[in-house]
Chains A and B, each alone.
Chain A
Amino acid sequence: MPQNRVDPLEPRGWVETKELIARVLSGDPEAERTLYDTYVDRVYRLIYRMVGEPDRAADYTQDTFIRTYDRLSTFRGESALSTWITAIAISVVYNGQRKVKRMRTREVDLEHADPVATPERSADPDLKLRLAQAIDELPEGYRTVFVMHDVEGYTHEEIGTALGIQEGTSKAQLSRARAKLRRHLAAFAGGWHS
């Protein structure tokens, strides 16, 4: 690990981050809080974008930091600490959302609703609402890449590292997500192009 590494993804700089990690691992409560304050906004923002509910976003963020502290000794510095924490956050969100989805599916089955939404032909006054619904309905992987890249502005490199996929795969997933959204919102395309 180069001592003078400059990592644009680390808001504190690598040397400072390394010292902070050492202090957290030694049990320094002040360092734990500093680490939390440094990364919590970024983590909460991404999680909120992915789940859209304040209570669950808070739960997942808490879980992410608890895991971060528990596993910090395994951090090897092969990526930026922020990217490593993002990977944990995504894992927490995926697992949590799968449980929520299973619960909801059971509830929906009981209420006979059709889970597949079909685009309405009539003019919808709120394209953003339709877009939000279309994003919600994207497959998990596509939605994650779309939210990270197009909504939160992560680079394909960061996404690839956080999700454990190649940059090219991230690009392909984004392309698929956009294509699916285009198709889903085709009824509104005329209005958007005008």
Chain B
Amino acid sequence: MMNNKGFNLHDALFIGFCATLLVALKGMLRLKLGLSGHSMFLMSFFYLICYGAVGKRGAISLCGLLAGMMAMTLGVGKGGPFLLVKFGLPAIAMDICLLLLPSLLALKWRCIILALVGTLAWASKGLIEGLLAGMSTQVVALQFAKSLLFGSFFALLAAMLVPPVLERLRSHDLIDREEI
């Protein structure tokens, strides 16, 4: 269940932990897989862990913006200030989706839907960038479709991993959410 109470220290630590680990892993691994959309794996995974562990509105957005600011400061990835959009946009989209998502839906399905919504927002960023740069509509649409397809694949992979990880965190008493 989502609630609107402010973040406590426990929540803040989890949000910071997810953002830091996301940026640190991205920075350390510097994966050059040549596969479009693989960055959605880590991003979806940590945003969904943050959602599961904190369970409060705005937690994912905060995590995304924090990760974006950290990536910008540390120079992880290309794009300068656009990194804030790159990390923040999927997170904000996920949070907006949570406002509409029925809380009775099983956690696994919620994770899958949120991961897909995040990927849509992430792929839209490329779409807007392409259009602003004056690329042809056909090319931009093709790139968008490709990003969406591959991004969704990696995001779904991450979404499937999240419920068992949350279950482990709960069994170690690190999170206290009955629904998990």
Decide whether A and B assemble into one complex: no
